[in-house]
Amino acid sequence: MFIALQNAVASDRTILVFGDSLSAAYGIRPEQGWVALLTQRLQAQGYGYQIVNASVSGETTSGGLQRLPRALQLHQPGIVVLELGANDALRGLPLSGTRANLAQMVRLSQEAGARVLLVGIRIPPNYGPRYTEEFASVFPELAKQYHLPLVPFLLQDVALNPARMQEDGMHPSAAGEAPIVDTVWPYLKPLLKKNP
């Protein structure tokens, strides 16, 4: 009984960041990435959480859906930060599949007892206005359906600032990672519990 209780308390203090290259510190050192910087902020502000970054560069929502059950079982997170979908859009995959995969990941996370923070992504306009707009709408629609907090756009203070982006124009540079933490924080903070 006591052991189970200890495990429950410990697992409730785990945040699983489940994303793609935008969360995997692509092209920069891992300690420069926004997930590592978020860990520092949590510690500095007295939140006793550990973060598991299970983000994989190039990951699609279908790949994420295959990986998620094991990650949930392994880490038993209290919070899941779900940041996937960009690679589906960049490959021009049907949005119905992206939406269904994200919805299933939300359900799996909730069934495992985790609260979900959904992270919105946008893609460059060169994919055509219809696809671009429909892709952007997937995230608020899911957030409404499943009553989730939503980060409207992960790169809102980064994407249009060349000084904060890598030369590929797709990934944040080291200078763009701290602004991402500032973007995520107001939506994550209400889900956190202070140390007793």
75 catalytic residue (yes or no): no
Decide: pTM greater than 0.85: yes
- Sequence-distant (6+) residues with CB within 8 A of 35 are 17, 23, 25, 51, 53, 55
Q: Which domain holds residue 23?
A: 12-189
Contact 48, 19 (CB under 8 A): no
Residue 1 lies in a domain: no
Report which of 156, 157, 72, 148 is spatially closest to residue 116, judged by C-alpha positions. 148
Lowest mean pLDDT among 9-13, 41-45, 47-51: 9-13
When pLDDT is averaged across residues 190-194 and rounded to a whole number, the result is: 89
Number of domains in the chain: 1
Q: What is the pLDDT of residue 81?
A: 98
When pLDDT is averaged across residues 191-196 and rounded to a whole number, the result is: 77
Query: Catalytic residue among 23, 55, 88, 171, which?
Result: 171
- How far is it, in rounded angstroms, from Cα 149 to Cα 155? 17
pLDDT beyond 80 at 195: no
> What residue has token string 């924080």?
185
Query: Catalytic residue among 12, 20, 21, 147, which?
Result: 21
50 φ, ψ to 5°? -105, 145
157 catalytic residue (yes or no): no
Residue 7 lies in a domain: no
When pLDDT is averaged across residues 176-195 and rounded to a whole number, the result is: 93
When pLDDT is averaged across residues 23-31 and rounded to a whole number, the result is: 96
171 catalytic residue (yes or no): yes
Question: With bands split at pLDDT 50, 70 and 90, how would you rate the model's confidence at 2?
Answer: very low
CATH of the domain at 177: 3.40.50.1110
Residue 6 lies in a domain: no
The pLDDT > 90 percentage for the chain reads 86
Please, what is the average pLDDT of the chain?
Answer: 92
When pLDDT is averaged across residues 64-89 and rounded to a whole number, the result is: 97
Residue 4 lies in a domain: no
